[in-house]
Structure 1
């Protein structure tokens, strides 16, 4: 470990390390956003064309199969994911909801307390772990989170999902898409939000449906009330206009233009493969530092399950272990506060429900040099905290 008696000389140019909303793409500025659609109805020809362009560009960049549908949903990833659960999970069918961090546990609570599914199995695991997914029956509907945003643990693969399985798969991919390749043939409903990996504005989510998902929605009428924001059908058929830019409720056209600008930037640098490479390189900087630093450890022990987006790490060692639980919890908070006050790094304390930790976003909109500059500052702050400064 390098010892820093004085403050490091260089600060990150962009100190935004939040895991959502994440940092804007390099070179972002307000004047890059088109404004012709502002002040216009989202149902005008112009408004619908911009929404449809956002859908089409998302589908292109993500490599979504041609026969899948992509739609813009209200209420971010949460709205999109809960819409899929409310409209697709039939109480007459067996279902499994798997979770290993905060948001996945919300989906478990939805299934248990709100939908009250009678044939439900829940799987969970501690932060940094993944439950055994291989035992999930292939006729079960399944809800899972591809990448644990608050734990840094991702699924290592999809071999536990059989091709052509009977049950539908509902995949919360909000901190995975644009950073990890999706196995589309095995995914029936996939959701994400603009403000995560692409660093765009919040409140809008995306819902991607396979033909099997469409069939389930059209053949199943839920017994529970559906709020308007979840109503995907018109009569007995899926309202396909939703997947052509006719949103269920009024979207922000400014947020839409911001998302489009991010997508166009991604396309200009080489598309999703370039984003994957950027995220992998960024995460390697942080994970290599963790491995070389004796007083921290990756929250995820298995390298095959480690994320390349929100890398989470905990503290360890004789000094840290000698602290009380409250004192241990204060260490990452104090470090994050010290560096925020110095405009070195913002919003990289661990999630509020996670074990005491730091979480550094490494997605493709972040620059490697900023990560390289942040890490010596964390070392410096840790030394100050340890010394009682």
Structure 2
């Protein structure tokens, strides 16, 4: 019975995080959204769960996108599907968050005091399973084509991306968002490792290696996310946060760096014209260039720097322009991928701030509660990752990441509420 319950909960968490969009049917056939709707139905009508108080901050997004609706109505080429897409954004966000709340409730009922470690295990296994799908796609193009047949529109930016960047169940050749989402599986390892038995420790390390491999065949952003935030995660997961913890952190970081250097040398052993060589060369290009020349220069940083520009027109700066919400494809006039820049051009500086506010708010809340509640450490890391990479492209409230973020936020809320009930 326990095994059946475990499998059932895992399937629920997996599709809540990685549920594909069946694009040949339509963008509305999104299994993450469908799973969230099912969870919400259960939460409201079966478990009788009230909407938690921390949701109030996110209701501001309803106002944000109501404003966006008015804005795009002033742009004549706006089509009916554009209105539908904008209306569905806050609906998707709120239902996804409530779905995460229901999952945390189910885990707290079934695992009680161990619910948080159990939640991290389910997230970790889900990411490992998705990493396995990505790895198998890399070595079996027929399997990749079978997955993409149901999850892709067939519109790829180039043959190199299709052949050497794996997208798993996303249906797109591996991208920045997916690589960062995969990296979250490595970032949570310290929290799992210290709370499980020996055999789980071994499985966790092996799973971490597989996840890192999936990042290498997906995109470089996940590498940077891992390098920056794995040490932070190790530190925040320690019981005593201070100088002693920082000293203990050094050998663990050196061990990871040793593993990463070994990956760089593995590149030299791959055949020059092999698919693995092409995949590694693209993901590791910055580090490989440094290895060869001693010069640490990332072309992505140079490109992003050229994408930082604000509207010179005061009207656009203050109120935004609906064109930049609707016209985002090849004919777009705003030639910047940076999330913050696109938000300002699309919504205006004040509405853009309201769009950012919920994540900024819970970044500060998580920071204040770092020493008191376990989920706060990971929520703080995930908030920073979302904000930092939003400076590269649109990351706030994106699929997959929002699911994992919601689970961390709900876990923090559950921990606070649990302590409050114990005290009263």
Structure number with higher strand proportion: 1
Note whether the superposition's TM-score is higher than 0.5: no
User: More relative contact order in 1 or in 2 (CA 8 Å, sep 6+)?
Assistant: 1
Q: Could you state the TM-score of these two structures normalised by the residue count of structure 1?
A: 0.27
